[in-house]
């Protein structure tokens, strides 16, 4: 009986953590939407899982808000506070990949290859819901 109580307690705690993280991510997304302006947003992922930026030596992986605008891809990491902005005209390619910088999960990632501020090739990757929608919309913006 003690084992069942312990498992129930652990599950309840994990449930509370999950809900708390989702509430924090939602508040972050609302802040980003207010900053950018809802009318400018083409796509948004409140819980995008960031797999790192190739040009950065100390890799940070985490969740945040990924937003596609007509002129740029905007990502705001939850913790630590970090913003990545990739102008559409600097994007060199978009691919699906199973891993990025040695990190992987069971799903495909959206990988963006682009020219950074130093005009060097760089890349970032995210795990997002509706990956195909993200890929199609970014390709459409690149082609126009």
What is the reported pTM?
0.80
Domain count, the chain: 1
β pairing state of 103-115 and 82-87: unpaired
Question: Cis (ω within 30 of 0) for the bond into 80?
Answer: yes
For position 128, which CATH number holds? Answer: 2.30.29.30
For residue 50, what are the domain limits? 2-143
The number of residues in the chain equals 144
pLDDT tens digits for the chain (144 residues)? 588 777 777 877 887 777 766 666 676 666 666 678 778 889 999 899 999 999 987 777 889 999 999 999 999 998 778 899 999 999 999 999 999 988 888 899 999 999 999 999 999 999 999 999 999 999 999 998
Contact 101, 51 (CB under 8 A): yes
Residue with the two structure tokens 């929608």 = 133
């Amino acid at each position: 009986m003690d084992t069942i109580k312990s498992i129930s307690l652990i599950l309840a705690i994990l449930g509370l953590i999950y809900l708390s993280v989702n509430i924090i991510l939602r508040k972050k997304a609302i802040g980003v939407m207010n900053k950018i302006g809802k009318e400018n947003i083409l796509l948004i992922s409140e819980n995008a899982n960031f797999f790192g930026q190739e040009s950065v030596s100390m890799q940070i992986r985490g969740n945040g808000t990924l937003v596609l605008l007509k002129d740029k891809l905007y990502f705001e990491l939850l913790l630590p506070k970090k913003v990545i902005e990739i102008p559409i005209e600097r994007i060199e390619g978009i691919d699906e990949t199973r891993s990025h910088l040695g990190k992987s999960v069971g799903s495909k990632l959206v990988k963006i290859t682009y020219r950074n501020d130093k005009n060097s090739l760089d890349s970032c990757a995210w795990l997002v819901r509706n990956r195909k929608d993200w890929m199609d919309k970014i390709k459409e913006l690149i082609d126009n």
